[in-house]
Every structure is written in C-alpha cells, then in structure tokens.
Structure 1
Amino acid sequence: MFSDLKFPLRAVARFCLAGLFASLASVALAQSETEDFYLEMDAPVAAPVDVPVEVPVPSYTPMPTLHQSLPGVVPVFVPELSLDQLGVADVTAGIDAARNFCSSLPDEYRIDCLAEQLERVAKSLPKTAESREMRKILHQTSDKLEKVVRENRDRSKPRISAKSATAPAPTPSRPQPAPIATSRPLKAVKTEALPTAEAEAAAILEEAGILLLRSSTQSQETSQHYQAVAEALDSTALLLRS
C-alpha cells in the first residue's frame, strides 16, 4: 500500500517546493523593485506625487513707502535722459573712440574689440522709444560681429584684455571721460582667415548704417541723430577695409 502512495507523495512534495520557491522569488523581486524605485529618487517625499499638498501662505503686509517710513522725506524721481538730452555727440563719440581704441590693438583682435565696444555703446543709450530701434540695431551688430569671430577664431592665441593709456575726447555730458577698457577678454581671428573676416565685418557695419537710415523716420531731430550714428559706423567699416 505504501508503495502505491510513493508517487503521489513525491508529486505533492515537488508541488509544495515549487510553490515555496515561487513565493520566495516574488518577495525578492518585489523587494528589489522597491529598492530600485527609491534609489532613483533624489529625496524621500512625505506624500505621493499625484496627491496635492496644501502649503500655508502667510498673509501679505505691504511695506511702508519711503515718505511713510521717514516722515518729512519726499522721494525725488530722476527721469531718464532722452536721446536728444543725451546728445548724439555722446553716441558718435563713443563709436569714434571705440574705432580708435580697437585700431590700436593687433589686427586679429580688432573685430571682437568692435563687437564688445558696440555692445557698450548700445547699453549706454537711454531706454526710450526714440532710441529703441538704434539700441536694437547696435545690439544685433555686436552679435553678428561676435559670430564672425567665433567662426574664425584662432584658439592657439590667448584671449586678451586691453585698456587705453589716455581718455577719449570729452563730450558735453562727459567732460572728464574715463579711459576705455574692455569689459571681457577679446578673442583672436586666424591670420589666414583675417581678410575674409574683416570684409564680412565691414559689410555688417555698413548694413547697420543702412538700417539706421531706414529707421530714421521719426522727428527731424531724431532722424539727424540716426544719420550721424550711421555715418560713424560707415567710418568704422573703413577701418576694416583699409
């Protein structure tokens, strides 16, 4: 009789062992998946990510104004100078000074010098409606010149910083101007690519002059400002073509 039960008992034992191993494997798999999940997280969270959490926001108490916090003190607001008040002489003088400054540097650094200096002139313009287009054109011109330098850069030569030994000519609003200095290191252009790069940079400056003339459709005085700056850019283009 026991010999007849031998085969069913073996089958039941194998079945139980298989079930036990399957249970242990599922537990190990679940544990490994849980560990992998938390290993990928930067930090534990207090609530599931799909559950909104309300964060208390403190009530806003407005700060006292200047005349409220300091009785007897009346704030004075200084209006920004317009292009007419700033004077076109300051803008053209800035471009002329940039041209003279950059021409004193080695030829391979002149294009990036002009890009940096034109950006400085653009930032000095008043943020008014009449100078908006001029500021935009000068910014774009600076960016285009920088692109020429990037495409023809000589990485074997170091970046340089420069400062003029003397100050530029004074203007009505700047009777004692400071010497010109670069605000960032200048990059060099490859010697073999210099003629092509200078021709491209000169064309960019001439295009900026044309854009300024097309934009001078405002008042007669503002139009004269745009025309004067366009002439200054044309003179700068001659530096690169010489």
Structure 2
Amino acid sequence: MSDPMRPRAALRTAVVWEVLQDALERRVKATGRQALDILDTGGGSGNFAVPLARLGHQVTVVDPSPDALFALERRAAEADVAERVRGVQGDVRGLFDVAERGGYDVVLCHGVLEYVDDPAEGVRNAVAALRPDGVVSLLAAGLGGAVLTRALAGHFTEARQALDDPDGRWGAGDPVPRRFTADRLTALVEGAGLTVGAVHGVRVFADLVPGVLVDTEPGALDALLRLETAAAELAAFHSVATQLHVLGETRGTPGT
C-alpha cells in the first residue's frame, strides 16, 4: 500500500500510518477481503478515514461535532470516496446507539481517551465493536511530551504540576483533560481483553523542531521522518513522546 498522505502533513502521523497500514495488510490477508470495515471513533473531518477509504476500505466515522462531520462529507466528496465513508454523530460512550456491535475489522480510537469521563469504558466499547481477531488502534496524549514542552518553554512550575498531577495536567488552563504514560495506556488495553501488539512514541521530535528548519533545510523533512520512525519503537523515547500509539489485537471473540 502506498501512503496517500502528503509529506508535510505526514510529519505528525507517519508512525501511526505505517503501523496501521501493516495491521490492515495482515487483516486483508487473514480475511481474504480487500475491503475491510473500519470504525473511526472521534474521526472528525477524516484525517485517517478519507485516506483509508482511498485504499478501498469502508469507513464509518463517529464524532460528536456536526461541523466536523460536515467537513468529513465535503472532504470525502473531493477525494471521490463518498460512497465508502459514512459519518454519524455520536461518541464512544454511546457508541452502539450509532454503530454496530461486533461489526468491524478495525477500530480507530485516536484523540478520544483524553476527553472521555471513563477511558476504560471507551476502550471496552472499542473492543466490543470488533469482529473476532480484530484490531484496535489507540492514540492518546503522552504525559512526558507535555512535561518536556512546558519545561523547554520555561514554564517549570507547570511542568512539575503536570508531572505530579494524576491526570497529567499542567494547570487550570490546560486544554487537555488527561494524559497517559505508556504503562497506563497498555494497562487499559490489556484490561479490555486485548493483546498489545505494538507500542510507539509519536511526535517525539516533531513538536520540538522549529518549523522553519523543516521547511527550508534541504532534506530536513525526510531526515526528521526517518528519525521519528527509528525512535518510535524504542521504549526510552515513549516517556518523552507528545502522543502514544498502542495497537491492540483480539484473539477469538472480543469482549462485550
């Protein structure tokens, strides 16, 4: 499969996209079907859904924002994949009001667990949406990346607050309600009955490198992408990543 995402946009998503494509290829081979059924919870305007549809898959996007779903519809139409993308208003908590239980080969849960009241319930619902031997892709805000970013900006008290806070928040003005360590995120995955297939640090360097350097230095973007990919699998860098990605896999009948 080729990567349909644009190079500059791929800087923050390349690692997730590569892992996800590998998982999709395994599912295609295992099922014998070229078109998988994919559920994208919190999929917004289709950053992943539209490229997945361009690869031939059927994608259902569940998102609470009508504006995001309108943008998704427009984006899918512009990419000529409107017949393979369906957007419905809802959230992971009430997922089965709008999505089929046990009806999907792959479930994406990206940027959702930070905002739900009960992350464990969110993961359990994602698992319950899977067919047997399905795959869940979880992407959530990382604690270490926030601490590092606040410290490098000179906000040392806020960095320490994020480090000590149970939810990883640096203060009342923090727009992110919750952040995760790799251990906490994998515990949620395992607690929902999944096997952890892979853990990756995402945006280890991308948010720290000045954009002007990436845009103006010849070859800098490609070199940074290679660096991100190389560091993503190393546990030493999980603790400083802006985001954490966990791939969970079911074996047999998924949990309910």
Greater radius of gyration (CA): 1
State the TM-score bracket (shorter-chain normalisation): under 0.3
Q: Quick check: which one's strand share is greater?
A: 2
